[in-house]
Amino acid sequence: MLVDTGFLVALYIQRDKLHSQALNFLQQNKQPLITVSLKK
């Protein structure tokens, strides 16, 4: 499953309004998570 930066930010910052939803998703999800790194 491809995740974007918004999910990672919400997961990391506890005061983010989507933090609890991101954490819940991470706990329930069984699929590997993939993100993209744009390195030049």
Where the chain has pLDDT below 50, the residues are: none
Could you give the residue ranges of the DSSP H alpha helices within 1-40? 5-12, 19-28
pLDDT value, residue 8:
93
Separation CA 18–CA 29 (nearest Å)? 16
Tokens (6 digits) for 22: 């991101």
Residues in the chain: 40
Tokens of 11: 């997961």
pLDDT of residue 28: 97
Find the largest Cα–Cα distance for the chain. 34
So what's the pLDDT on residue 11? 95
pLDDT of residue 16: 97
Written as six digits, the tokens of 4 are: 């974007």
